[in-house]
Amino acid sequence: MKVVFDGVVFQFGPTDVTLMWSHVLSTMKTYAAPHVALLDRGGAPHFDGIERIAFPSYKLNTNTASDSLLLERVCKECKADVFVSTLYTTPTTVPSVVAFSDASGFEPSPRQEQERELAINFASHYVCASDRIRDDLEARYPGTRLRSAVPLSRPEKSLQSTAERWDALADCIHQQLAQAHSEGSSPARQAFVREWTRLRAIQAAVEPCRISDL
Amino acid sequence: MPDVLSGLRATLGKALRQAVGCLARFAPESVLRIVNAEVGAEAQRRNAAKVGLLSDGEFVIRFSEVLFQGRGADSDDVERWKELLDEAPARREAFLRDAVTAYLANPPSSVVPQLNDPGRMHILGTSRSFLLQDWQKLKVERGVCARPSRAGRTVPASSFQHTGEFKVSAIASLYKGGKHIEAFLENITAQTIFDRSELIIIDANSPENEAEIIDRYRKIFPNIIYKRINYKIGIYDAWNLGVEMSRGQFITNTNLDDLRKENSFELQASTLERHDFVNIVYQDFFYSMDSRLSFDDVAKIGIKSDLPIITPHNLLLFNSPHNAPMWRRTLHDELGLFDTALRSAGDWEFWLRCISRNKTFYKINEPHVVYFNNPEGISTRPDTKGFEEGLRLRRSYGPKLVSRQLRMSRKEFSELLGSEVDWSRRPSYYDVVHNNLERLGHSFRTHGSHHQSRSL
């Protein structure tokens, strides 16, 4: 299984979120099997055993549909089976896992709100770093099968350290990757992604360029 | 309106005749009646039939020369005007009246480009700019000092050996480059893959005898090709000659006063090699206002562009790949050479040609090139031809690059999406597609299929 992580969050400099993702990525090699590639949009650290692919930097307020089409081309070129973004970016056909964390530190613009909605609607699997985040998102997006990274066997309050919470998140992402991969080729999903790709291409074609958005 | 048109007729210059022609083809019926009195019944029937068929977006594009003072329409214009016209044909007449009046008052030939201030640089890909004072302040803050000029130094003895492989051909047009030639040669020959590259210098009859210095380098680097033309030629004539002489798989242009990081060719070539679907690579670049500084010094000051992913719509507005892009040589076999009728915007025209033929651009984030802001250079002088050529390009490529989907009527667009849309709140086409994507995803998540509701 080949997994492509979009390292978009590293582009915006070090924060709690980048620390969390660094931890998750650095543990990926401990899981059996997946070949992991990291799209470096600028600022992505090196991780042992992870292939890096340079990818154009992300603009938060413009060209997000074009970005999605380009992500798809690169994912296809490197034969990605599953995609994970560190923000709300999405390809157009590759099964995707979205992870939501507590440590946002990131005030989304109206366009980013839209992209978050699309990421939720496109993804096949979801991981929330805590029960609270899962509950908040479930209220906002009813019907979404959100999964908390907090293990059922361990109440959230028993996870004492940040590292423990991040380990739980990495575990959970890893489990969801396998499921997303196995469901990726169902006929219903194929029909869905064909229509999704068509609409995303139309969206890219009707986005006017405004200098003020750059 | 009759007054305006009789004014037009009375003063028929070439541009005004075009405006009348434009009106006759695409104006609403009331305007057509006036114009058609002169053009005959047959033309009247033809024109009237056309008017009813045009969407607002198509109307804006076809009429753009008059509506936008000769500059042509871009995607943002189309979006804004669609909102104003609101698919109410009666509104077109009022807009046309205002536009023709404005056109007569300020014909395109009277529009004078804003003078460039050589002490202010616009940061490409942003709405920001910086001043010479900002640059100087940063230079002091970051402890950067100009070093003595390197001109006149002896070429170091070297055991340079070319591999015989030509991955990259770098093309340079040379005219009055005596001040920069030695630093330029040092910079290019230091490229990490120079042993798999060639540098082709086309001397456009420069009076500064740069050949003497070039010859010193050619003794060590046999992959420097020098050709002097005994009469003055334009930059794009020189580039075309370079392309024809080139042996490399990839081509890049090099300006004498710009600088590259040592691995610049390598980064660009490896990106093209890695991604088969990519035709042209470009990158963010550092700005410099002092040609004596090294790449590392300019990087320390750190003022750099912030270029977007190139789309047809943003490439129509500004030339993102203008600074040291690299492209596949095979593009020229398919699309031809640079347009030598242009003096300043020939590269932009070529990129517009590329994107109009669906070629793919790919941005490298790492800024590995320095752009020197030279107030004496042709592209930064206030009397530049660039302004006029830019208008010409936008006029000719606007109709090709503003997407057909953006120009569609609301009815056509709803049909394309396959859903009914509530247009009463005048949503942008972008947001309409967003809503469709949301509904599609929601339907798939909750029902496992993508049946869409037919109304919003």
In terms of Cα–Cα distance, which of B310, B325, B319, B385 is closest to B348? B319
- Whether B99 shows a pLDDT value over 50: the answer reads yes
Q: Can you give the pLDDT at residue A106?
A: 62
- Please enumerate in sequence order all residues whose Cβ is within 8 A of that of B353, keeping only pairs 6 or more positions apart, or say none: B335, B336
In this predicted structure, which of A123-127, B241-245, B335-339 has the lowest mean pLDDT?
A: A123-127
- B449/A192 touch (CB, cutoff 8 Å), yes or no: yes
Q: How confident is the model at residue B1 (pLDDT cuts 50, 70, 90)?
A: very low
Q: How far is B404 from chain A (nearest CA, A)?
A: 8
Indicate which of B431, B434, B447 best probes the interface with A, i.e. most A CBs within 10 Å of its own CB.
Answer: B434
Q: How confident is the model at residue B92 (pLDDT cuts 50, 70, 90)?
A: confident
Task: Please tell me the number of Cα atoms within 13 Å of B81 on its side-chain side.
Answer: 28
Q: How confident is the model at residue B6 (pLDDT cuts 50, 70, 90)?
A: very low
Q: What is the mean pLDDT of residues B64-75?
A: 82
- The SS3 call for residue B105 is helix
Q: Can you give the pLDDT at residue A164?
A: 81
Q: Can you give the pLDDT at residue B326?
A: 98
Contacts of A214 in chain B (CB under 8 A): 125-127, 306, 308, 314
Q: Can you give the pLDDT at residue B361?
A: 98
Q: What is the mean pLDDT of residues B40-60?
A: 70
- Using CA coordinates, name the residue in chain B closest to A201: B433
Average model confidence (pLDDT) for chain B? Answer: 84
Q: Can you give the pLDDT at residue A193?
A: 96
Alpha-helical regions (H) of chain A = 16-27, 64-77, 110-122, 131-140, 162-183, 187-205
Q: How confident is the model at residue B35 (pLDDT cuts 50, 70, 90)?
A: very low
Q: Can you give the pLDDT at residue A180?
A: 87
Q: Can you give the pLDDT at residue B89?
A: 81
Q: What are phi and psi of A144, to 5 degrees?
A: -85, 130
Contacts of A62 in chain B (CB under 8 A): 308
Average model confidence (pLDDT) for chain A? Answer: 87
Q: Can you give the pLDDT at residue B34?
A: 44
Please state at what angle helix A110-122 crosses helix B429-447, rounded to 10 degrees. 30
Q: Can you give the pLDDT at residue B9?
A: 43
pLDDT tens-place string over residues B166-190 = 999 999 999 999 999 999 999 999 9
pLDDT tens-place string over residues B102-148 = 777 777 666 666 666 777 888 999 989 988 888 889 999 998 886 65
- Whether B450 shows a pLDDT value over 80: the answer reads no
pLDDT tens-place string over residues A12-51 = 988 888 998 999 999 887 876 679 999 999 999 999 999 9
Is residue B416 a contact partner of residue B408, using CB atoms and an 8 Å limit? yes
Q: What is the mean pLDDT of residues B350-367?
A: 97
- Whether B452 shows a pLDDT value over 80: the answer reads no
Helix (H) or strand (E) holding B197: strand B197-203
Q: Which residue has the higher pLDDT, B161 or B71?
A: B161
Contacts of B316 in chain A (CB under 8 A): 209
Residue owning tokens 């941005």: B363
pLDDT tens-place string over residues B149-171 = 544 445 565 689 999 999 999 99
Q: Which of A66, A73, A208 sits opposite B75 (nearest CB)?
A: A208
- Whether B32 shows a pLDDT value over 80: the answer reads no
Q: Which of B284, B309, B405 sits opposite A206 (nearest CB)?
A: B405
- B275/A207 touch (CB, cutoff 8 Å), yes or no: no
Q: Can you give the pLDDT at residue A182?
A: 85
Cβ contacts from A onto B, under 8 A = 132
- B445/A200 touch (CB, cutoff 8 Å), yes or no: no
Q: How confident is the model at residue B5 (pLDDT cuts 50, 70, 90)?
A: very low
Contacts of A77 in chain B (CB under 8 A): 275-277
Is residue A112 a contact partner of residue B434, using CB atoms and an 8 Å limit? no
Q: Which residue has the higher pLDDT, B291 or B219?
A: B219
- Whether B213 shows a pLDDT value over 60: the answer reads yes
Q: How far is A210 from chain B (nearest CA, A)?
A: 6
Q: Can you give the pLDDT at residue B416?
A: 97
Q: What are phi and psi of B299, to 5 degrees?
A: -65, -35
Q: Which residue has the higher pLDDT, A92 or B49?
A: A92
- Whether B38 shows a pLDDT value over 90: the answer reads no
In this predicted structure, which of A125-134, B196-205, B278-287, B428-437 has the lowest mean pLDDT?
A: A125-134
Contacts of B366 in chain A (CB under 8 A): 42, 54
Query: Sign of the C-alpha dihedral, residues A36, A42, A44, A49?
Result: positive
- B311/A54 touch (CB, cutoff 8 Å), yes or no: no
pLDDT tens-place string over residues A158-193 = 556 778 888 888 888 888 888 888 877 788 899 999
- The SS3 call for residue B336 is coil
Q: What is the mean pLDDT of residues B319-341?
A: 97
Indicate which of A117, A189, A202, A213 best probes the interface with B, i.e. most B CBs within 10 Å of its own CB.
Answer: A202
- A191/B450 touch (CB, cutoff 8 Å), yes or no: yes
Q: Can you give the pLDDT at residue A29?
A: 78
pLDDT tens-place string over residues B372-427 = 986 555 445 544 677 788 889 999 999 999 999 999 999 999 999 999 999 999 99
Q: Which of B311, B433, B448 sits opposite A63 (nearest CB)?
A: B311
- Using CA coordinates, name the residue in chain B closest to A121: B441
Q: How far is A11 from chain B (nearest CA, A)?
A: 10
Indicate which of B81, B276, B313, B319 best probes the interface with A, i.e. most A CBs within 10 Å of its own CB.
Answer: B313
- Whether B333 shows a pLDDT value over 80: the answer reads yes
Q: What is the mean pLDDT of residues B272-296?
A: 94
Q: Can you give the pLDDT at residue B305?
A: 95
Q: Can you give the pLDDT at residue B151?
A: 46
> Which tokens hold the place of A16?
């709690």
